[in-house]
Structure 1
Amino acid sequence: MSEQPPTPAPKPAGAPEPEPIRFFGTTWVNRDNGYWPRRVGVSIGALVATAAAALVLRFGVEGVALSDNGGFLNGLLTAAIAVCSMMSVRRTWKVLTEGKDQLTGWMAEDRSLGAVWLIGGAGSLAAYFARSLVEAPGEGVKRAAHERAVERYGKRRTGRSGRPGAKRKR
């Protein structure tokens, strides 16, 4: 006989539902239904996308180098790409580990920094790849939020005493 996985207990009405994560849906909750192959696929995809973005940046730098504008301009362009990539890595890492609501200052959604995030896209993809080696990117943030919601739901359901149906005396 083959072992069948236990069927999950039905959730009570009004119980908090986990938020889906891109590429993973809600499989991150129990790490089932193809979670691990998806993790491997996301890691490989992020690595390939990082390499492609780096190649595009390299073509851009080589194009400027072919214009014979001098070493200063080439150095300035390389430094600009490096700084944009570092800023993008830091922002992406913070979003994936702490959540988008924790972004403040220059990392917050600001339309004027769109070019910085675009130029630093390779760095952002590299951060996504590195995070996908640890967990589904964003899983820690979603898991913490889901556990808080389940805890609040449990407290609301059972009351402060921890006993279902207990009534407060007035």
Structure 2
Amino acid sequence: MSDKTDTPPTPAGSPGGATPRPEPLRFFGTTWVNHDNGYPARRIGVAVGSLAAAVVSGLVLRLAYQGLQIADIGGFVTILVIAMFAICSALAFGHTWDTFRKRPDLDRQASLRGLLAIGFVGSLLAYFFRSLTEAPGEKLHREEYEAARQQHEKRTIRRTGNPSKKRRRS
């Protein structure tokens, strides 16, 4: 079982009392925080790259379908294969889209590994559509980062000065 708490995880690289640092995103690093250092170009690159990969993957699946036709294995198996890729792609799209809004459960992620591998086209399309509006996962990471910054500010505001040097009232 995974440990679940109501508080968001502290962003990577923020030990104990140090100022929280943003967690890097794949392909974006920490440019998502201020949308600087080539962030728009990276978003365009991720959108074009994921769409191109989805198109190439579709062509590979088309070749596989043609191989099934040449092998003349029958209509039932062909329909099963097409349905398998369509259903797995739809499920992979939904799962990948959800990971952009909330942290995935690691146990569930491990159990879905095969389905996600078969439905890779759906995951690529989810990356494409999300990158049209933001870096994939940016909203989730921004919420966690802002929450960690607010917690840090609350802690530092309460602790002003060294308590051992305070004057004692007599």
TM-score normalised according to structure 1 size: 0.79
Paired with 2:43 and 2:57, the residues of 1 have a C-alpha distance of 21
C-alpha displacement of 1:97 = 2.0
Paired with 2:79 and 2:18, the residues of 1 have a C-alpha distance of 58
Unaligned runs of at least 5 residues, structure 2: 1-16, 164-170
Unaligned runs of at least 5 residues, structure 1: 1-12
Within 5 Å, give how 1:1-170 maps onto structure 2.
14-101=18-105, 108-111=108-111, 113-159=112-158
Identical residues among aligned pairs (%) = 45
Paired with 2:81 and 2:19, the residues of 1 have a C-alpha distance of 53
Deviations 1:21-75 (A, max 9, x none): 1111111001011111111111100110111111111111221121112212111
Range with bigger deviation, 74-83 or 62-71: 62-71
TM-score normalised according to structure 2 size: 0.79
Moved over 3 A (4+): none
Residue pair 1:99, 1:138 contacting (<8 A) in 2 also? no
Deviations 1:67-92 (A, max 9, x none): 11221211111111111101111111
